Amino acid sequence: MQAVQACDYLFVDVGANSGDSLIKWFTQPNCYERCYERSLPGQPGCLPSNETCGRTGTCANANETCFCNKLAKQSRCGWEWPWWLPVGTRQKYCAEAFEPNPLLQKKLSHAAHTLTNHGRAPSIKIHNGTALSLTDGYASFGLDLNFTYGSSLILDKKTMDIHGKAGRGGAVGENKVTVRTLDAVRYIRSLPNKHIALKLDVEGSEFEILRDLLVSGALCERVDFLWIEWHTGGRINWKKLGLPISEGELTKVYSWMLGSVQNRRIVVMPDLSPHCRTFLGRWA
């Protein structure tokens, strides 16, 4: 792996798994890029206005849009990234990837080596056996031995069974290891990079991490782009608290939180910016 170098731009991949999100970040065009590639000579191409498909899903008509989730898979383009982050822009980012699961270390390291050795990424730093969390220290980490992407710090989280049924298997805490934990607020604040893109896929711990990042002000101060995979359950009693449970509702709630942080009373450190800089994207 290339030596880690200072970058103005940093992609922080929390819950990097086997490296699939790193590979997407550094190699996969987004749907808008494919849209512009298909535009006809003399036409302005598609304007990124919404997430709906045109009649054909192509740029044959300049009034149609190409960014559409239904066609994302067959178009082989990433719908996760906003139109202003084409793959050429993302390849200017350095990366730091967190993955606590020891079963995934070899695949993740291989993916990072491949990306840097082929010049797709300036540098990638892997934090093996490390989870971004609420405090610095050590914690038990439960392993999902059937589907490794279900492993979690939340030890009573149910796994999939061998038939792929979610929540039908045993608790991940039945197979656990000890991992290092890093305080997410302290870590994000300590980064020297000017621009940070953060992806969180932490199997149920995202709510507590995001709460601390938001209330501390670290999220709005430091993070430009945020992508989240939501996981209901874990340590939160959703029914008792009356919290939303669908991904769409969760996204709306968090979008409102980010968009409504206009006064800085909740921010611990001084921040002269008039509003939150974070843009909430979409992940999985």
Comparison of pLDDT for 247 and 236, the residue scoring more: 247
Determine the pLDDT at residue 85.
Answer: 87
Determine the pLDDT at residue 68.
Answer: 47
User: Is 145 domain-assigned?
Assistant: no
Question: Do 95 and 52 fall within a single domain?
Answer: no
Lowest mean pLDDT among 123-132, 237-246, 259-268: 259-268
User: Residue 19 maps to which CATH number?
Assistant: 3.40.50
Question: Do 193 and 71 fall within a single domain?
Answer: no
Question: Do 261 and 121 fall within a single domain?
Answer: yes
User: Is 109 domain-assigned?
Assistant: yes
User: Is 166 domain-assigned?
Assistant: no
Question: Do 107 and 53 fall within a single domain?
Answer: no
Quick: pLDDT tens for 8-34.
999 999 999 999 999 999 998 876 665
Question: Do 211 and 70 fall within a single domain?
Answer: no
pTM: 0.81
6 pLDDT more than 70: no
Question: Do 72 and 90 fall within a single domain?
Answer: no
279 pLDDT more than 70: yes
Question: Do 14 and 92 fall within a single domain?
Answer: yes
Degrees, nearest 5: CA angle 252-254-256:
70
Determine the pLDDT at residue 13.
Answer: 98
Quick: pLDDT tens for 189-232.
999 999 999 999 998 888 889 989 988 889 988 999 999 988 86
Determine the pLDDT at residue 82.
Answer: 78
116 pLDDT more than 90: yes
pLDDT average, residue stretch 113-128 = 96
User: Is 2 domain-assigned?
Assistant: no
Question: Do 130 and 35 fall within a single domain?
Answer: no
Q: For the chain, what is the mean pLDDT?
A: 79
Number of folded domains that form the chain: 2
Determine the pLDDT at residue 255.
Answer: 80
Question: Do 273 and 239 fall within a single domain?
Answer: yes
User: Is 94 domain-assigned?
Assistant: yes
Residue 83: HSE in the Cβ half-sphere, 13 Å Cα cutoff: 16
Question: Which residue, among 192, 210, 193, has the nearest Cα to 201 in the 3D structure?
Answer: 210
Question: Do 42 and 73 fall within a single domain?
Answer: yes
Other C-beta atoms closer than 10 Å to the C-beta of 18 total 20
Quick: pLDDT tens for 45-102.
444 444 444 444 444 444 444 444 444 555 566 777 877 888 999 999 999 999 999 9
Question: Which residue, among 144, 141, 147, 203, has the nearest Cα to 170 in the 3D structure?
Answer: 144
Determine the pLDDT at residue 167.
Answer: 59
User: Is 160 domain-assigned?
Assistant: no
What range defines the domain where residue 51 resides? 31-78
Question: Do 120 and 202 fall within a single domain?
Answer: yes
Distance from C-alpha of 141 to C-alpha of 150, rounded to nearest angstrom: 11
Assess contact for 48 and 67: CB atoms under 8 A.
Answer: yes
User: Is 49 domain-assigned?
Assistant: yes
Determine the pLDDT at residue 54.
Answer: 43
User: Is 168 domain-assigned?
Assistant: no
Determine the pLDDT at residue 92.
Answer: 95
How would DSSP label each residue in the chain?
Answer: -PPP---SEEEEEES-TTTHHHHHHHHPPBHHHHHHHTPPTTS-------S---SSSSSSSTTS----HHHHHHHT-BSSS-TT--HHHHTT-EEEEEE--GGGHHHHHHHHHHHHHTTS-S-EEEEETEEEESSSEEEEEE--SSSGGG-BS-TTPBPP-TT--TT-S-BGGGSEEEEEEEEHHHHHHH---SEEEEEE--TT-HHHHHHHHHHHSHHHHHEEEEEE-----TT--HHHHT---SHHHHHHHHHHHHHH--S-TT-SS----SS---EE----
Quick: pLDDT tens for 125-174.
999 999 999 999 999 999 988 777 789 998 888 877 666 666 567 888 99
Question: Do 203 and 236 fall within a single domain?
Answer: yes
Lowest mean pLDDT among 72-76, 177-181, 211-215, 257-261: 72-76
Dihedral over Cα of 96, 100, 105, 107: its sign:
negative
